[in-house]
């Protein structure tokens, strides 16, 4: 029961964190840059976003441990679950970007959706950003002094207090709780899917593909109808306008 409570709390924290990040970072950045791509700035913001998220995850795991007066087993389980939750979330976001980029590439929609080769390079480096974020999370656990520095960092404290302040608002608490539940279920599904893929790879099984992909057929029809149209019209995609509610960005950090 304590584990489910932790996962539910982390789900709500991630949703509110993404909302706050979009409001104070992504939206102003878009206005400043004219919503144009800025690869160096995107790298910095992506790294900063995931590093802060790893700090927030550690802090919430630590608070959970303190609130339940956990024994050694509970402490280990809490940190492991927190780390898995963080990793699944970051990996799923990267996979969404890759899937979207791959779809646009396969069906000749890169110009339509304003994708460039720099996006492919950015996706490659985001692997390193995720790795560094997981190292920071692990270091907070393995080195208590470092964990204290992260836990008491003013930026970390501000984000946690802002998240808790928004969640405790009477009406918003119900809304965030509703979306938090579905976010938690979605994360469970992603985790199960990832475990299945790993097991299949270890056992040497290949993933079966259907002979015809309905989405593929639909996209081929779409590209065929629009092949004669002016390709100068471009749509700038925000990678996180997926209705996880937490995700309100693309080309995102």
Mean pLDDT of 46-53: 93
Q: Does residue 220 lie in a domain region? A: no
Mean pLDDT of 135-163: 94
Distance CA 98, CA 92 (A): 10
The continuous run of DSSP H or E covering 50 comes out as helix 39-67
Distance CA 249, CA 253 (A): 8
Q: Does residue 11 lie in a domain region? A: yes
pLDDT of the residue at 77: 92
Q: Which of 9-23, 123-137, 164-178 has the lowest mean pLDDT?
A: 123-137
Average of per-residue pLDDT values in the chain:
77
Mean pLDDT of 102-114: 51
Q: Does residue 89 lie in a domain region? A: yes
pLDDT of the residue at 191: 78
Query: What's the pTM?
Result: 0.74
Within 107-245, residue ranges assigned H as helices are 117-142, 144-151, 154-167, 170-203, 214-226
Residue 119's closest CA among 134, 89, 99? 99
pLDDT of the residue at 192: 82
pLDDT at 188 over 80: yes
Which has more confidence, 204 or 86? 86
Range(s) of the domain holding residue 97 = 2-203
pLDDT of the residue at 239: 45
Q: How many domains does the chain have?
A: 1
The answer to whether 38 and 28 are in contact (CB under 8 A) is no
Q: Does residue 158 lie in a domain region? A: yes
Residue 246's closest CA among 95, 26, 84? 26
Mean pLDDT of 170-183: 91
pLDDT at 203 over 90: no
φ and ψ at residue 213, rounded to 5 degrees: -100, 115
pLDDT at 195 over 70: yes
pLDDT at 212 over 80: no
Chain segment 216-235, per-residue pLDDT in tens: 455 455 555 555 544 444 44
Q: Does residue 249 lie in a domain region? A: no
pLDDT of the residue at 190: 81
pLDDT of the residue at 170: 85
With both helix axes pointing from N to C terminus, report the angle between 39-67 and 144-151 in degrees, rounded to the nearest 10: 110
pLDDT of the residue at 161: 95
Q: Does residue 105 lie in a domain region? A: yes
Q: Does residue 57 lie in a domain region? A: yes
pLDDT at 145 over 80: yes
Buried/exposed code over 227-245 (b: 16+ C-beta within 10 A; e: otherwise): eeeeeeeeeebbbbeeebb
pLDDT of the residue at 102: 55
Mean pLDDT of 33-54: 87
Which has more confidence, 65 or 237? 65
| Residue in the structure block whose two tokens are 């492991």 | 80
Q: Does residue 91 lie in a domain region? A: yes
pLDDT of the residue at 225: 56
């Amino acid at each position: 029961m304590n584990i489910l409570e932790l996962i539910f709390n982390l789900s709500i924290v991630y949703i509110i964190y993404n909302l706050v990040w979009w409001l104070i970072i992504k939206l102003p950045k878009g206005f400043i840059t004219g919503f144009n791509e800025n690869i160096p700035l995107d790298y910095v913001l992506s790294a900063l976003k995931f590093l802060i998220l790893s700090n927030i995850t550690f802090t919430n795991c630590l608070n959970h441990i303190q609130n339940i007066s956990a024994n050694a087993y509970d402490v280990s389980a809490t940190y492991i679950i927190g780390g898995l939750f963080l990793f699944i979330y970051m990996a799923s976001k990267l996979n969404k970007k890759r899937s979207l980029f791959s779809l646009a590439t396969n069906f000749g929609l890169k110009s339509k959706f304003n994708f460039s080769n720099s996006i492919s390079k950015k996706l490659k480096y985001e692997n390193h950003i995720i790795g560094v974020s997981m190292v920071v999370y692990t270091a907070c656990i393995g080195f208590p002094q470092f964990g204290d520095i992260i836990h008491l960092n003013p930026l970390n404290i501000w984000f946690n207090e802002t998240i808790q302040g928004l969640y405790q608002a009477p009406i918003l608490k119900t809304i965030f709780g509703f979306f938090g539940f579905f976010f938690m279920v979605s994360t469970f599904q992603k985790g199960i899917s990832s475990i299945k893929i790993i097991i299949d790879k270890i056992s040497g099984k290949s993933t079966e593909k259907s002979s015809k992909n309905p989405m593929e057929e639909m996209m081929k029809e779409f590209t065929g109808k629009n092949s004669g149209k002016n390709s100068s019209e471009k749509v700038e995609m925000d990678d996180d306008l997926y209705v996880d509610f937490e995700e309100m960005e693309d080309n995102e950090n």
